[in-house]
Amino acid sequence: MEFGWSAEELAYREEVQRFLAETLPEDWEELSKGGPGSEAQAAFSREFCAKLAERGWLTQSWPAEYGGSDASPWRHAIFGEEMWGHGEPRGPQYMNVNWIGPAIMKYGTEDQKRAHLPPISEGRVLWCQGFSEPEAGSDLVALRTAARREGDVYLVNGSKIWTSYANHADFCILLVRSDPDSKRHRGISVLLCPMDLPGIEVREIPSVVGERYFHEVFFEDVRVPLDCRLGPEHEGWDVVAYALQFERVGAARYHRAALILDDLAARAKARGVFAEPRVREGLGRARALCEAARLLTYRVIDQRVHGSPPSADTNAARIAATDAEGAVADLAVEVFGADALEYGSWADTRFRWAMTAGVAVGATEVQLNLVASRLLGLPRE
Amino acid sequence: MSLDLDFDDAQQAVAEAVASFCAERCPDEQIRKGEAFSRDLWRELAELGVLAIGTPEGEGGALEQAAAFESLGRAVFPGPLAATVFAVRLLDGPEQARLAAGEALISVGEPPLLPFAPLADRFVESDGESAWLARAEGEVLPVSTLGGEPWGRVRLVRERELGDARDALAVHDTMLAAWIAAAGERIVADAAEHARARKQFGKAIGEFQAVAHPLADAAMALASARTLARRAAWTIDRAGLRAARRPGAVARHAATRAARAAAHIAHQTFGALGITLEGPAFHVSRRILQAAAQPPGETRAAEVALEGYALEGCAA
């Protein structure tokens, strides 16, 4: 058993930190306030990710044949922690690296790999994910956006919702119902849909976090070429299930929560409330939750290193990260009292982002369902 | 070498050896009747070497000990387990050897109410920060407890100062966390089994999310706590006791919270059945509650978890 990083890994983390210190602009804190979907951050990500690509870091965990260097999942985790710890300067591009690229590697044709993988590994393309619909949220397989074959295209009609980054994206990994007579998991296909096709309209939905976080995307008689389909027709659910295993622990939210907690402790001292029992109790508890979330995520990475099949431990890790982030945000509000209410203040920003944790990539309740059925063997309704 | 979160073969072997010892010598039926503890059983456990780790005669490290404590927790094995580990680290010479061999029984805490006092040969008075070797003066007044352990009210006379207890507390907290997290996982597994079998409103009660989600939440928190305990044990082996104070406290804090919550949820799942004396839950939950409130230092864990905030963060 080993809980410590190797000298090489520690040196790598320092190297990434040095690079970030040199590369992030002085006003990064302010610039990143709008979130990864903001105009400023999306634009910055193209420039920033190209620099990561030059160093061979952006897709280092990928196989060499696709522009990676077969780096270990641990190295990729260190890299991801540092990125999230610094407000995710990759912007939306973390998704490309963590799961869209790997899904294309596993299910893509040679042409698709040639077309999509180099731009991702070079850091010059933005993707969004077209999953949720107004009537298909947690119950994703209720999706209805239709793709009807017509000659050499799919004619796509319907709408997607809560789509982050849709305003900037070059492509959308789009879930559609390709068999109109199908139900639930069968009859779904995945399309690698260019976002500049005629008939696609993107509307922003104002949200409590950042600018341009949410969008609604409408498809009206959009003609998507047949060769944009990823994986077998009508069997797209397998592609999604594969991709989501990467997504749930892809964002190192626990690391960001831990850093924020450190910052909060310093701010509590500055405000003179650090010695109060309720603050100390809250800090101790939040710290234990942050460390728990980190270790549960490491268990998932460890399983991947050992080649174990994906398990509901992934969902448990996600729940733990949500708990940790929530505890830190609650404490921030407690420490700052009424000052926390001011729009754009330090505590306000943390609290707003923590609200997304239990909803993004599957509601906590859905994760609990999976833990209950897969880890505890409880029956499903 | 990168991180590796599995027990190695030697640690796995310890866990299995202790588990089969528990199954044979301390089966569930006996635990349920509350008659499991005896001096003979305690000596037999000590013969496995579980209590001697950290002494000159001991074999293995804290990770082996944590592996053993997980198996003991799953079996809700009785006795002053963490207290003995604590005292073994504070004492030396023949006193230490007798404790490690299971020949002497220790009571650790702050007077007047002390665990295992009516049976104890030696006393250590400690708040988790300092410690004194002590003896009982006058009569030990037996007190029965929720957890079924023989406690007692006693007046102690300090005999010898044992110095700073915080390093020993790191081991105590780590092993208590390993035991209690495993006991928690055991009661959740038992409750899940019940939730699969018990039918109401025409279906298994585990189908109701009101039942399933709290159990899933508990499973998650306990898996966290168990991993935190393993990390604390690894810290002891790799970086020494001092470095393990905070990880040990974090593990204990996480484990006691998680296991208490798990006990509550298990009782909700079992319903009235869980409230019966020899039923499926109480023999485990009572021990969890008792261990969670165990001296020394149960009020200090959250505080110690904060140690080092002036110097270093918890991020790395």
Pinpoint the alpha helices (H) of B117-208. Answer: 166-197
Q: Chain B window 250-309: which residues touch A at a Cβ cutoff of 8 Å?
A: 250, 253-254, 257, 301-303, 305-306, 309
Helix (H) or strand (E) holding A146: strand A146-150
**Residue located via tokens 């079996």:** B75
Q: Which of B3, B219, B257 sits opposite A2 (nearest CB)?
A: B3
In chain A, what residues touch B232 (CB-CB under 8 Å)?
A: none
- Please tell me which residue of chain B has the smallest CA distance to A3: B3
For residue B296, cis peptide bond before it (omega within 30 degrees of 0):
yes
The alpha carbon of residue B251 is apart from the nearest alpha carbon of chain A, in Å, by 8
Q: Does domain A128-233 have CATH number 2.40.110.10?
A: yes
CATH number of A7-125: 1.10.540.10
B186 at interface of A, judged by CB pairs closer than 8 A: no
The CATH code for residues B167-304 is 1.20.140.10
Cα distances (Å, whole numbers) of residue A127 to A58, A95, B64: 15, 8, 48
User: Hey, are the CB atoms on B314 and A380 less than 8 Å from each other?
Assistant: no
- What is the CATH superfamily name and number for domain A248-374? Butyryl-CoA Dehydrogenase, subunit A, domain 3 (1.20.140.10)
Q: Three-state SS for A288?
A: helix
| Chain A residue whose CA is closest to B194 | A378
φ and ψ at residue B89, rounded to 5 degrees: -75, -20
Instruction: State whether B213 and A296 contact (CB < 8 Å).
Output: no
Each residue's pLDDT expressed in tens, for chain B with a length of 316 residues: 788 888 999 999 999 999 999 999 999 888 888 778 999 999 999 999 999 999 998 999 999 999 999 999 999 999 999 999 999 999 999 999 999 999 999 999 999 999 999 999 999 999 999 999 999 999 999 998 888 889 999 999 999 999 999 999 999 999 999 999 999 999 999 999 999 999 998 999 999 999 999 999 999 999 999 999 999 999 999 999 999 999 999 999 999 999 999 999 999 999 988 888 888 999 999 999 999 988 887 667 667 777 655 434 444 3
pTM, to two decimals? 0.85
Asked if A371 is an interface residue toward chain B (Cβ–Cβ < 8 A), one would say: yes
Write down the domain spans for chain B: 167-304
- Cβ–Cβ below 8 Å for B216 and A74: no
Residues A365, A297: contact at Cβ < 8 Å? no
Domain limits of chain A?
7-125, 128-233, 248-374
Q: If you ran DSSP here, which 8-state letter would residue A133 be given?
A: B
In angstroms, the Cα distances linking B8 to A2, A14, B64 are 10, 30, 9
Is B184 in the A-facing interface, judged by CB distances under 8 Å? Answer: no
Q: What b-and-e string marks burial along A141-161, b requiring 16 or more CB atoms within 10 Å of the CB?
A: bebebbbeeeeebbbbbbbbb
A298 and B CB contact within 8 Å: yes
B197 interface with A at CB cutoff 8 Å: no
Q: With contacts defined as CB-CB under 8 Å, which chain B residues touch A281?
A: 302
Give the pLDDT of residue A43: 83
